[in-house]
Each structure stands twice: as C-alpha cells, then as structure tokens.
Chain A
Amino acid sequence: MNKVVAGAEQAIKDIPDGAVLMLGGFGLCGIPENCIAALVKKKVNNLTCISNNAGVDDFGIGLMLKEKQVKKMISSYVGENAEFERQLLSGELQVELIPQGTLATRCMAAGYGMPAFFTPAGVGTEVAEGKEIRSFNGKEYLLEMAFDADFAIVKAWKGDTDGNLVYKETARNFNPLMAMAGKITIAEVEELVPAGELDPDAIHTPGIYVHRIFQGSNYEKRIEQRTVRKKN
C-alpha cells in the first residue's frame, strides 16, 4: 500500500474531461489550492464540481471557471463570484443550487453507504420540485440522494502516510465528508508525517477513505473578509 504521491500533478493525472469532482472548503477556507492549480494547468474540461462555494473571481474554483473548465456547479452559495454569476445568467454554466445542510448530508450519506435520506430543508420551495415528499410525525420531508462523485479532492492540516487526516479549525467544514464520499479520494496536506505520529484518538478522517496523499506547498490561504478590532 503506497498512497503517497509526489505532488498535485501526479495526484490528479488520471482525472478525465467530464469527471464529477467534489472539492472541499467553505469559501476560500480549507480549499485544495494545489490540486485546483494542477487542474487548471492540465486543462481538464467539462467538469461537474460539487463544492459549497465557487471561489472568487481570481482564486479557488474561480480559477477553473475563468478557463471555462466547469460545465456544472453544484453549490449552496455562489455570491462572491461575479464571473460565476455572469456565466450562470448567460446560460454558459449549469448550476444546481441546493441547501447547505443537504449538500453536506448528501456527501455524508455517500461516505456512510446510504443511498438517500429525508430532510425538511426546501419543503414548499422550488428545491422540492420533482422530489418525493413524505410525512413523519406530522412534518413533511424531502427525499434526497447521496452524491456519486468520481473524485473527491480535499485539504487537511496534517496527514500521515496511511492517509489518516486531521483538519484545522473551520478549515474542516466539508472536507471530511467529501473525503468519505469519493470513489477516489485525493488529500493534500500542509504536513505529511509517517504513520504512527498522529494521535489515533484525534484523527478526523480514517485513512481507509483516502487513496492518494501528498504534502502541498505554497499555501496562500487567502482571506475573503478580513475583519479585525483595534488593540487599545
């Protein structure tokens, strides 16, 4: 078993045009920067991207949108990307907007081997169109399906050579859920350590879910909204 690859280019080298990808992160927090750069460089096209957000115009998934590599986005919120909004309103880009909790749970369900689940989010709205509705204890719920993604690409803080992962703070977000959900899961980490160095009690993603891992480099970790208070 050797999960360790040299870098992003090797990790994504077999991702074909038309693939369905999951990309971890919330806003620009905890996004797989190295793999996104490699996907842009490799010019993979016609992608379906499942990601909570679509980056900003010049960072994150926004870099792939700019090169028109994305055929369809499945997201919950895309407000920070003007190019995204332009492509969407002009019909160049397909988009499926789904509630954030539904997005997270569709990832989780895939990782837990459950084909579907019921949630109340979206009952009585256009999200419910065409979906089975069932009542439990007098409340209505929608039937939502687990995602089916070819590749999940996630970013963790630390990882080991067996693929075990630990995330940092709110950079965790969708990463552990997507890590569980990919047919092939690729993890880029800030620090790669030998198996045995991470505390088994503190691991967030067990390595069984991770197929390829590498230590990334040059993380920009761009802040979207820098909010501070003054020291008195």
Chain B
Amino acid sequence: MALTKEQIAQRISRELKDGYYVNLGIGIPTLVANYIPAGMNVVLQSENGLLGMGPFPFEGEEDPDLINAGKQTITTVPGSVFFDSAMSFGMIRAGKVDLTVLGAMEVSENGDIANWKIPGKMVKGMGGAMDLVASARNIIVAMMHTNPKGESKLLPSCTLPLTGTRCVKKIVSDLAVLDVTPGGFKLLERAPGVSVEEIKAKTAGKLIVEGDIPEIEV
C-alpha cells in the first residue's frame, strides 16, 4: 500500500531533532507539524515573518494579521517572534534554519528540484522556494512518486524549469524513502507491501538498491 499524505508527513517527522528550527512548505510538508513527537522542542519558521508557529486558532479566534506562508490563519506559541521579510530570508540565507521540507514536481538524481513553473500552463511563481533551496542545510522533499499519468517524478534530469540545483538530500514519497547520493537515488525504505521492483519501475532516474530494503514503519 502506498503511503497516504498523512503517513508521508508522519515519516518525515522522524527526521526532526530536538532544538531544530524547521521551515515547512505548503501542502504535505505543512502536515508534518501534526506529528512533532511529544516533548520535542521544534520551532517552526514561517517565511512571511514568524518564528514559533502554533496550531490553527479556535473557531472565532482567527486573527487576519496572523497568518503563515500558506496564508492560513494560525497562532503563536510562547517564545514566538515576528520580523520582516528581509530578516526572515536573512536567517534562511545564513543557514540558521536546520531543516526545510517542501514539495516538488520533479527531482533529478543529482538533487536538482523543479517545483514552481510549467511553461505555458502554470505560472504561480517560486515564492520563497528558490531562496530556501539555495541556502538550506538539509532539504527533504515530500512528494508523490509519480504524476497523475503514472510517470515518474524522480528523473535522470529535470524537464521543468529548475528551482535549485544539487540541493535535495532526501525524498519521502508515497512509495519509498530515498537519499540523494552522488551515484543516484539510494533506496532506504519502501512503503508496506510495495516491492523493490515496483519502485524500480516507477523511478526513471538511477536507483541504487543495496541489500534488504525494510518497510516504512507506519
């Protein structure tokens, strides 16, 4: 069984460490916040100018001046701080953010990522993604392994306009956990009941399989 979006987020949450400052992108990455282990102190950075992002507000307590980078109403937590957009990207550029989790349309076997533009079709813009991938020390991509047509999104090289080059360190897809290594995508774990052969068939880029591949604990 392929992982659900929630299970992808849950698996990524196991990469968190106490004291981490983390930036979560829009979509599946946002869900990672729901699975921060109890007792672990992780500070969420929202690039519109907030460190210490809390959960959604209770009904009726929404504050239009308090949103996250996905424009959702949120809350603060004890220790939260607000700042302007230049400082926000200053701390990102300076490598102060420990982990960035974001979505992707394509990732290449050398760690290039494309997630902002489909020429002639979708032109939403890169937002903060180019700044994040150019400077983050550790980037995990949360994505579906294939597109709706069943075509692999893990490629020898990206076909879409790039967001950044040689920057993705790890991928958690609905089918597998993979590291991006100098030799290609290294398979670390597979979704329960998903065979190595299926992952091979759905990975267009170079896939490295060494030894037995354990199932992802869900």
Q: Which residues on A are within 8 Å of B, measured CB to CB?
A: 26-30, 52, 75-80, 85, 88-89, 95, 97-105, 107-108, 119-127, 157, 167-177, 204, 221-231
Contact = CB atoms under 8 A, between A and B. Distances in A.
A127 B163 CA distance: 9
Majority SS at the chain B contact face: loop
A177 B84 contact: yes
A104 B134 contact: no
B48 interface: yes
Contact of A100 (B60, B89, B120, B161): B89
Contact of B65 (A30, A123, A126, A176): A30
Given A225-B67, A225-B71, A229-B57, A79 B124 contact: yes
A175 B84 contact: yes
B48 A26 contact: yes
Given A28-B64, A76-B127, A172-B84, 6 more contacts: A76-B128, A104-B84, A124-B162, A127-B126, A169-B65, A221-B64
Contacts of A79: 124-125
B123 A85 contact: yes
Nearest to B127: A77
A58 B202 CA distance: 42
Contact of A99 (B62, B128, B162, B165): B128
Interface string B189-216: 0000000000000000000000000000
Interface of B: 46-50, 55-74, 76, 82-86, 88-90, 92-93, 112, 120, 123-131, 134-135, 161-165
Contacts of A174: 84-85
B68 to A, nearest CB: 8
Contacts of B127: 76-77, 99-100
Given A76-B127, A177-B86, A231-B58, A123 B71 contact: no
A102 B131 contact: yes
Which 10 residue pairs are nearest across A and B when measured between Cβ atoms? A101-B89, A101-B131, A79-B124, A124-B165, A104-B85, A221-B64, A99-B130, A77-B127, A120-B134, A77-B125
A100 B85 CA distance: 8
Nearest to B119: A126
B84 A228 contact: no
Contacts, number: 182
Nearest to B47: A100
Contact of A77 (B49, B67, B124): B124
Nearest to B112: A124
Contacts of A97: 123, 125-126
Nearest to B74: A227
B123 A77 contact: no
Nearest to A102: B131
Nearest to A125: B162
Nearest to B83: A172
Contacts of B112: 124
Contacts of A78: 123-125
Given A28-B71, A124-B165, A223 B86 contact: no
Given A26-B67, A29-B71, A101-B89, A121 B123 contact: no
A119 B84 contact: no
Given A101-B128, A227-B73, A221 B161 contact: no
Nearest to B89: A101
Contacts of B64: 28-29, 221-223
Given A107-B86, A121-B130, A125-B164, A170 B48 contact: yes
Given A100-B131, A228-B56, A29 B161 contact: no
A174 B74 CA distance: 19
A49 to B, nearest CB: 14
Nearest to A75: B125
Contact of A228 (B47, B62, B66): B62
B131 A170 contact: no
Given A97-B126, A173-B85, A125 B163 contact: yes
